[in-house]
């Protein structure tokens, strides 16, 4: 799926643009009320430093993995909603260069994120931006080629999450989203994700 994330984002953007040009304008196209949804995407982990390894690791290859999320929200008005999501950023893994030895790492990230979402309705198409906090568990495994045992650590953290994208409504209830999201993870603040999501508006 990784190779198709960026073309898919472009295609959904073009599809939403076509929808905007052809859809009949309706007063209920951006309703208020609850919604639920799911998304799939790609998470890009850009590590500058591995926890509990100090300066032993001098060169780390960035990695990525497939990701998924499930979310619920409530839209109070056409311009504002609150949202809560469970986000699993997968298990990015790759190799590194270390003092006296090379090795590989794997990082598991998953957790819960409440956020506030602002919307700019443009008929059946809208732009949106979000800001929230990501409360997550991170499990890091570091294996050295030699010598000695590897490192296995678990932490619970919370970091700032923000993003935005474009969405469109079809069949009056189905919302399609193309979204960019960035998480300010300690020692990996350039990490981000791209999502394709679908939601049902009640």
> Hey, what are 117's tokens?
């979402």
Read off the pTM: 0.79
Which two three-digit tokens encode residue 78? 């056409």
Cβ-proximal residues to 38 (8 Å cutoff; 6+ apart), any chain: 68, 69, 70, 71, 197, 198, 199
pLDDT digits (tens, 9 = 90+) for 102-125: 788 888 999 999 999 999 988 778
| pLDDT score, position 197 | 97
The answer to whether the beta carbons of residues 81 and 37 sit under 8 Å apart is no
Q: Report which of 94, 134, 87, 128 is spatially closest to residue 114, judged by C-alpha positions.
A: 134
Per-residue pLDDT of the chain (202 residues; tens, 9 = 90+): 555 454 454 445 544 444 444 444 344 566 789 999 999 999 998 877 655 444 445 456 678 889 999 999 999 998 999 999 999 999 988 777 766 667 888 889 999 999 999 999 887 789 999 999 999 998 888 887 766 667 788 889 899 999 999 999 988 889 999 999 999 887 788 889 999 999 999 9
By the 10 Å C-beta count (0-12 exposed, 13-18 middle, 19+ buried), 54 is classed as exposed
Buried b (16+ CB within 10 A) or exposed e, 60-71: beebbbbbbbeb
Sole residue written with tokens 């430093």: 49
The backbone torsions φ and ψ at residue 56, rounded to the nearest 5 degrees and listed phi first, read -65, -30
Domains of the chain, each with CATH number or no CATH: 2-21+37-201 (2.40.160.20)
Task: Give me the residue label for tokens 């052809």.
Answer: 22
pLDDT digits (tens, 9 = 90+) for 152-161: 888 898 999 9
């Amino acid at each position: 799926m990784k190779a198709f994330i960026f073309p898919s984002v472009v295609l959904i953007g073009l599809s939403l643009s076509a929808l905007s040009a052809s859809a009949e304008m309706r007063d209920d196209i951006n309703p208020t009320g609850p919604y639920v949804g799911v998304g799939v995407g790609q998470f890009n982990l850009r590590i500058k430093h591995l926890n509990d390894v100090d300066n032993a690791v001098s060169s780390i290859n960035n990695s990525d993995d497939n990701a998924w999320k499930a979310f619920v929200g409530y839209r109070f008005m056409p311009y504002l909603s609150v949202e809560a999501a469970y986000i699993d950023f997968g298990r990015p893994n790759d190799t590194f260069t270390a003092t006296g030895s090379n090795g590989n790492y794997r990082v598991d990230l998953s957790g819960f994120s409440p956020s506030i979402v602002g919307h700019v309705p443009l008929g059946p198409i809208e732009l949106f931006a979000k800001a929230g906090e990501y409360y997550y568990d991170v499990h890091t495994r570091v294996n050295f080629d030699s010598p000695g045992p590897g490192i296995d650590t678990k932490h619970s953290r919370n970091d700032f999450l923000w993003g935005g994208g474009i969405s469109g409504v079809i069949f009056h209830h189905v919302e399609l989203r193309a979204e960019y999201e960035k998480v300010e993870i300690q020692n990996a603040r350039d990490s981000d994700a791209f999502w394709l999501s679908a939601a049902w508006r009640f």
